[in-house]
Amino acid sequence: MRLVRSLLVPVLLFALVCGSGLHAQQPASPRPVAVSDLFALRDVHDPQISSDGQWVAYSIGSANLDDDKFQERIWMTPAAGGEAIPLTTEEASSSHPRWRPDGKFLAFLSARNDGKTQVWLLNRQGGEAAKLTDTAQDVDDFEWAPDGKRLVLVLRDPTPDELEAAKAKDKSDDGAKDKKAKTPKPWVVDRPQFKRDTIGYLDRRRTHLYVFDVAAKSLTQITSGDFDDDEPAWSPDGTRVAFTSNRSLPDPDRTYNSDIWIVAADSKDKGTHLTQVTSNRGDDHQAAWSPDGTWIAYSTQLDAKLFQYSTKHIAVAPVPDANGKPGEAKVLTLAMDRMATQPTFAPDGKAVYFIADDDGTQNLCLVEIATQKVTRPIGGRLMLYDYSLSKSGEIAAQITTLDRPNEIFTLPSGKLTRITHANDELLGKLKLAQGEYVHFKSKDGMTVSGYMYKPMDYTPGKKYPAILRPHGGPVWAYYAEFEHLAQLLAANGYVVLFPNPRGSTGYGQDYCKAIWADWGNRDYQDDMAMVDYAIAQGIADPDKLGVGGWSYGGISTDFIIGQTTRFKAAISGAGAAEFTSLYGHDQYQKDYFTELGYPWEHQDVWTKVAPFYRVKNITTPSLFMGGAIDWNVPILGGEQMYQALKALGRETQLVVYPGEYHDFTIPSHMEDRLKRYLAWYGHYVKGDAAPAALPQDTAAPTAKAGDK
């Protein structure tokens, strides 16, 4: 339900095709976007600028439909622009590049030879990568120490099987291969927070910090306990590590709190003696040290009871003195009232860079500590996902716009300059729909915003079928970024509506919390207002409307079709119908009772926010879909809606994708999902003669060996 925006779906590395012959071929006319183009786009992300500001390393995601899996590869390019250089092989997925402080070597994460994910080291000038770490479990994260001689690792406590395999490996390289597969043991659950999507059931194994000595190949655990520790950040002198942890007593599972802590890098007692930097009851995370090591900047949520609805701010806190006494924290962005994350001190220590979620964009901002004045080194209608800062202040940023997928940009002399061109070849072949940021009034007079895409063949004065696409979250938004789905629908003749109703970020805390314990009310009115706007503009055909979304967008879809019959088709992905059945089944144990109260005490509230109880009103042909192992919003919600509509004799279908979590990772499933979107909307919204199902759905089953 509360969909965390992933950085971007990794997509297929586009192969450059060079023509041959005496005469250059004439370029083909640009064509509309197709389903296959999702897998031809390169996902450029995680920019890392070297300390001297001369080089930028980054990752490119790729998808191979033949192998049906994703891969990542690390590249490098001069910060001033120039030829992109691949640093890692295509045969082994590699990610998370991080420069050694001297800028001569690059460390990264990779799982090679069917082993665990480990840290590897590569000379910038080329050659084979060497494996640095060899832990029993996967390395989740790492950061270089300032001296370049140590790493801090984030490791989850190993399972007994991982320890046994590591011991067997020590005895013989093949010692763990010949053992018979064991029957999995039962899960023993005793935590309030006992599930998490992509993980499943949670036990008492926790993530902790370890210091790895590169020369000695030695590993020292520096934090411990029944707590999770992550987001490590080295102090400038390399003696301490700041990190994020929820160490609330008696049980961190029962609170939204997390704080910034400091541990000695040479701690021999596994972090028994820690220094607490923050004590706010909300979420404090993403610690960043000042250049002189006396301050820590971080992102903070001040209203703990609002959890994700609460605005994130940038704050600074003095590093506690020798007696461990914390100083007074200073919140820098209160006047801005926008979600603010990823702080980094400017080289002079007088200001802090951060990313601001504002009005359907994300910009790179800079706030002066003394005056709290905010400027925007990288602003405008764009989506800045990530950035990196060199010691001398050069910036590398990951940016996407409405007409261009993610690329890496630098800021020489204050001028935004694109230095990667991973998608130029493909974009030169495509005809894109132009997204427009529009404003409109909701039923109660509230001004709402959103992105509207006109169909590819748009002619003024002509009305077109339209698709309303509520977003996930609900605490999220649509941004000024390249959207393959919007382009695909527009290429197929639809007006595409991406509203940011109340509950969305980027418009202030009051706007965000307006749907607190009241889902499917104000956000429903705001979503409908965008449909009314498109109709009033003479663009959308009121008799040819479709709706569909994923996660909270799926829940919104269920709300919408239970309150109006104006839509000809609906597609609800990873939606939820009846929340009491999800209580204790999905991963939102805290969220439910915090926002709605306990179901046995506030049954009226739980019933009000459940789309299921309006199912008898639904006449819209509705397709429900989701991942079979999604613990974020389990497929149970789609199953309930499907079964109810089936019992009522309505037109409906259920599609369940095996092995998929909330965010899909299998390319063929992503392709299948897009094709179903086009088929369902084409049949019911446009009235196409082609069936709403895909051809393989009605094909006769193939007999298998041994069938009688």
Residue 179: the pLDDT is 57
Render 332-352 in DSSP notation, one character per residue: S-TTT-SEEEEEEE-TTSSEE
For residue 674, name the pLDDT band (cuts at 50, 70, 90).
Answer: very high
**38 Cβ contact partners less than 8 Å away, ≥ 6 residues apart:** 9, 11, 12, 484, 488, 670, 671, 674
Is pTM beyond 0.85? Reply is yes
Alpha-carbon distance 531 to 549, whole Å? 15
Alpha-carbon distance 522 to 6, whole Å? 26
Res 1 pLDDT > 80? no
Q: pLDDT per residue over 172-198, tens digit each?
A: 655 445 556 788 889 899 999 999 999
CA distances from residue 635 to 423, 639, 673 in whole angstroms, order as listed: 35, 6, 15
Alpha-carbon distance 638 to 505, whole Å? 26
Q: pLDDT per residue over 590-646, tens digit each?
A: 999 999 999 999 999 999 999 999 999 999 999 999 999 999 999 999 999 999 999
Res 161 pLDDT > 90? no
Q: If you average pLDDT over residues 275-284, what whole number do you get?
A: 95
**Integer Rg of the chain from CA:** 26
Break the chain into its structural domains and give their ranges. 1-100+385-431, 433-689
Indicate the angle between helix axes 552-561 and 522-536, nearest 10 degrees: 70
Token reading at 458: 């748009």
Q: What percent of the chain has pLDDT over 70?
A: 93
Beta-bridge mates of residue 398: 386, 408
Res 461 pLDDT > 90? yes
Res 366 pLDDT > 50? yes
For residue 282, name the pLDDT band (cuts at 50, 70, 90).
Answer: very high
Q: pLDDT per residue over 372-385, tens digit each?
A: 999 999 999 999 99
* Least trusted range by pLDDT, from 216-220, 557-561, 689-693: 689-693
Res 557 pLDDT > 90? yes
Alpha-carbon distance 382 to 380, whole Å? 6
CATH homologous superfamily of 433-689? Alpha/Beta hydrolase fold, catalytic domain (3.40.50.1820)
For residue 272, name the pLDDT band (cuts at 50, 70, 90).
Answer: confident
Alpha-carbon distance 244 to 232, whole Å? 7
Q: If you average pLDDT over residues 273-302, what whole number do you get?
A: 96
Q: What percent of the chain has pLDDT over 90?
A: 84
Residue 12: the pLDDT is 32
Q: If you average pLDDT over residues 530-538, what whole number do you get?
A: 98
Res 109 pLDDT > 50? yes
Alpha-carbon distance 392 to 400, whole Å? 25
Q: pLDDT per residue over 12-57, tens digit each?
A: 332 222 333 333 445 578 999 999 999 999 999 999 999 999 999 9
Token reading at 529: 């207002």
Q: If you average pLDDT over residues 311-332, what whole number do you get?
A: 90
For residue 706, name the pLDDT band (cuts at 50, 70, 90).
Answer: very low
Residue 173: the pLDDT is 54
CA distances from residue 508 to 33, 334, 340, 512 in whole angstroms, order as listed: 35, 11, 11, 6
Q: pLDDT per residue over 603-613, tens digit each?
A: 999 999 999 99
Indicate the angle between helix axes 636-647 and 552-561, nearest 10 degrees: 20
Res 267 pLDDT > 90? no
Is there a contact between 193 and 590 (Cβ–Cβ < 8 Å)? yes
SS (H, E, C) 673-696: HHHHHHHHHHHHHHCCCCCCCCHH
Res 6 pLDDT > 50? no
Token reading at 489: 């629908």
Q: pLDDT per residue over 385-410, tens digit each?
A: 999 999 999 999 999 999 999 999 99
Token reading at 630: 């999604």
Res 237 pLDDT > 90? yes
On average, the pLDDT of the chain sits at 92
For residue 7, name the pLDDT band (cuts at 50, 70, 90).
Answer: very low
For residue 324, name the pLDDT band (cuts at 50, 70, 90).
Answer: confident
Res 11 pLDDT > 70? no
Indicate the angle between helix axes 484-491 and 667-681, nearest 10 degrees: 40
